[in-house]
Structure 1
Amino acid sequence: MKKGDVITGILLIAITCCSFLFMLPQRADSELTLVIKVNSETYKEIKLTGNYNKLVEINSPFGYNKISIDGKKVKMVEAGCEDGLCIREAEISRPHESIVCLPNRLIVYLTGETELDYVSY
């Protein structure tokens, strides 16, 4: 191996390690707010803390939904819609993530501060 190959390898490893710094999760102390909207109107806003556990039932003219809140994680557990796609969606726990139930005109999302501009999966 030549000297230039070693330097190039070290630079690539350093750049790779530095890029992982941008993928660090949000700060644990950031405050999250759960926003529930039915038919584009705010139904409820809930400030989430680390020990907040609750089941939220939403009865609207468009249908029935039940949301489980476990600390700072939110998941749809029941829905009165025919397809049930919203139940199969993953739980949300970071700002700007959402769960949507189109037949029931329901949108559930988290707001809060984050240092990341985007999240790539």
Structure 2
Amino acid sequence: MTARRRIDLAVSDEPPTCPRCAGRGLALVRVPYGWTNAAGVPVRSRTGIVLCERCDADTPHAAPLITWFHVHGRVRDDTGAEFARVLRAWAEHAEVPPLDERALEDEIALWGRGAL
């Protein structure tokens, strides 16, 4: 049996913003994330992944969760178990895009110039 990665659901009254299309997302989860830096040292952290009905429509495991949101809207006592099941199925397979080091360097430069 493989270990499940720990996911944290970010709960808010406001829906998350999709970082890909800037539209309204359905859910935000935080998952383990990491890479190996230039010195060969593993860097471990957590990062957020937004479920977006437009951007994730063709993403494996996302369709049941997107459908769940359309049918139920919010989690209630009687829908919590089903929600947890489809959320975990999606989050277990959700891909974290690789770190874009160039974009990171550009953002650091903008921040250093006070442009952010």
Q: What TM-score does the superposition give when structure 1 sets the normalisation length?
A: 0.27
> Going by fraction, where is helix more abundant, 1 or 2?
2
Greater Cα radius of gyration, structure 1 or 2: 1
Task: Considering fraction of residues, name the structure with more strand.
Answer: 1
